[in-house]
Amino acid sequence: MRQNNAFPCADILRNAELPLLERARRLQRMEQAVLRLLPEDLAAHCSVMNLKNETLILGVASPAWAARLRFAVPEFTRQLQCQLSLAITGIDIRVLPESLDIQPVSRRPESLSMDNATLLAQTAESVDHPELREALYRLAAKAHES
């Protein structure tokens, strides 16, 4: 027999160790402080994703920036510990996938040949349903010379 282990979201959030909004604010303040310690060009391509088990998780825009940040990690860790008094034991660097800007494919509208328009008009003449007949005539009127 299946047990019902569902809990309302409000109960889960209420029982959380830190409320979600407060945690987001802490991470935002931490990001501002952390990015001030990095060189300006590197900070522009880096963001604080999380702080978990004394490991700072940073996201970067590309593998090139990740490699550059890895070279700076030992000095950067010392700065975090000295200047911000953060008990950081490691830094995890993750490359964030670029958001894809998907553009819809623009297709040229299909054109109706004169032959097909003639067939539609002939079909409309033999249809008893008035609305369908009218729709077929409207379609036939959209024909273009090809």
Q: How far apart are CA 121 and CA 138, in angstroms?
A: 9
pLDDT given at position 144: 64
In a domain, 127, yes or no: yes
Record the pTM: 0.55
Co-location of 116 and 89 in the same domain = no
Can you name the residues that pair with 46 across neighbouring β-strands? 60
Q: How far apart are CA 51 and CA 32, in angstroms?
A: 14
In a domain, 3, yes or no: no
Co-location of 116 and 90 in the same domain = no
Residue 136: which residues within 8 A CB-CB, separation 6 or more? Answer: 120, 121, 123, 124, 127
- Structure token pair of residue 128: 């008893």
Co-location of 120 and 65 in the same domain = no
Q: What is the pLDDT of residues 87-127, one digit of tens each?
A: 888 899 999 877 666 677 777 777 888 888 898 899 999 98
Q: What CATH number does residue 47 fall under?
A: 3.30.300
Q: What is the pLDDT of residues 6-63, one digit of tens each?
A: 767 767 666 665 677 788 888 888 888 888 888 888 888 899 998 888 888 999 989 9
Which structural domain range is residue 144 located in?
110-146
